[in-house]
Homo-oligomer: A and B are copies of this chain.
């Protein structure tokens, strides 16, 4: 296992660069302790099985969050298949490469409090069940979707797959309450199975569903969430052309799920903005 510090680099022939042949995780670290660490390791492990990339020893990964000082940081690490192989054919005994960085992080309490505006993206996610759910390095669809808007007041973009099913936002998972039931999109064809989503699925009566974007219009409350930012209530959803198609008043229903999610991340449950 090759170790790289933030100042280090990967060579031109690294397969992560050449083909996106690798995985990554971004982890919230508070005072040197990683949040939702088991969920991050579980997803990395699923990805490593799908791609056939050996995992680093557990203690190689365990020591990464420990390098952070006091306060909040985001740990990002990338595990590539390393160099070697012939073209697309990987080496039968790859030497994976682990690179990582720690960066200070400040959350956005005003988004917890007042909620955010999101818009539908035009891009449709392609359906590839083999790669669905894992956090691999082939993320051009996310980049193209995120390039669809530049208005800083629009916090996220909502993505459907090529079959019209609601999947996720560009870097967050979707949750909503509809007819009193908590739901989140099933991610069997595409999308990233976020660690906050995994933790909420384990703990709550949260149901994975195959639905179209009309489910958001019908919802009493909608949230966007991930393991770094926590849970943002959705206050307004716009069409892909920027026309508002639904607004929500942020209230107790929104706070109830935030309490559950923020407990997992040691984020506050009442906010002073």
Contacts and interface: CB of A to CB of B under 8 A. Distances in A.
Given A87-B146, A92-B150, A130-B144, A13 B138 contact: no
Copies in the complex: 2
A137 B126 CA distance: 16
A10 B12 contact: yes
A182 to B, nearest CB: 26
A145 to B, nearest CB: 7
A140 B51 contact: yes
Contact of A126 (B14, B128, B142): B128
Interface string A1-26: 00010101111111111111100100
Contacts of A87: 146, 171
A247 B214 CA distance: 51
A90 interface: yes
A99 interface: yes
Contacts of A90: 143, 146-147
A147 B18 contact: no
A93 interface: no
A9 to B, nearest CB: 4
A17 B17 contact: yes
A101 B12 contact: yes
Interface string A123-156: 1101110110000111111111111001000000
Nearest to A77: B12
Contacts of A15: 143
A58 interface: no
Contacts of A256: none
Given A128-B141, A138-B138, 13 more contacts: A10-B10, A16-B17, A17-B80, A18-B137, A19-B142, A19-B143, A20-B20, A20-B137, A51-B143, A88-B142, A127-B162, A131-B144, A138-B140
Interface of A: 4, 6, 8-21, 24, 51-52, 78, 80, 87-90, 92, 99-101, 123-124, 126-128, 130-131, 136-147, 150, 162, 170-171, 190
